[in-house]
Amino acid sequence: MLRLLSGYWFSQTLYVAAALRIADRLAGGPKTADVLAEEAAVDREALFRLLRALSSTGIFAQVGPRTFALTSLSETLREDREGSLRSVALLGGHPLHWQAWGRLLRAVKSGESAFEAAHGQGLFDALRENDELGAVFHQVLTRAPELEQAIADLIAPLGFRRIIDVGGGTGELAARLAGACAGAEVLLFDREEVLNSAPARVGVKLEPGDFLAGVPLGGDAYVLKFTLHDWPDSEAIRILSSCRNAMLSDGRVFVIEVVVPDGSEPSIAKTHDVNMLVLTGGRERTLAEYEGLFASAGLKLVQSTSTPSGASVLEAAEIRGPS
């Protein structure tokens, strides 16, 4: 219990280590705290104390007097490592994120976003105004290329001709879809300020807009990856309804989320659900809850496919009345 109670110490010390790029600076081999402090332009004694504390739990290794090296844990913080967790550390310890968690009690009492209570604006408004936070946020969303490839591999054999990636960020999934779905038009749809940061990608067209107001017409596949969990049920139903109204009669909606299991077994989705309460007022959902959202939007679940990453691809089609 004491270790759990001090958990926030680790999120902050790891944030500082990530911000100072300590893992990257140690990639070539051990260094003293004095050398690292000089490279990072920070106080030598304070950095030594930080690294000593992190080494005591196995995150770094103290291999000599005031000298530190990487371990398998701190290797994950290297920015050049595939699947790097550096952006996760930077997001989790960012002052705006950190301060929002300080309002968790208020969020539990009210059921409303702690982020808005802490900062007087929603997360997505803050992302528009804070370039640093916005960049880290999108890095976190794009750190799972194996998931994006799994999604593309599932969708490609279905032969869609016009695929809309709704709220697709800077376009990593859209690029995978364009590469896997030969001959298909792939449209990346997100806010203009997000698309301004999206690199040019072969086979991907950009269209700015607000999916709460509507989505592009005429698609036969609408893909929403880690989008619905950002929103309470009313907005999630609105987004799904927009997709249903915009898509062709034989179209499909693909929702990619980490589904909360029904039983009592441990699941990261259950703890991440509290993070959604803190950040956006949204929520993670069970499969039955997603089926309820689909039904409210005039859709029905056709298939649920689990991926190796732990996320599920939920395929939905329009509910049609008797002919």
As annotated, the active-site residues are 229
Measured between alpha carbons, how far is 222 from 203 in angstroms, rounded to an integer? 16
What is residue 2's three-state secondary structure?
A: helix
Residues in the chain: 323
Residue type, 110: S
Q: Which two tokens stand for residue 321?
A: 């009345």
What is the Cβ-side half-sphere exposure of residue 300, based on CA atoms within 13 angstroms? 6
Placement of tokens 């030598």 in the chain:
44
Measured between alpha carbons, how far is 141 from 285 in angstroms, rounded to an integer? 19
Q: Euclidean distance between the first and final Cα of the chain, in Å?
A: 61
* Parallel/antiparallel/unpaired status of strands 162-166 and 221-225: parallel
What is residue 317's three-state secondary structure?
A: strand
Alpha carbon 159 to its chain centroid, in Å, reads 28
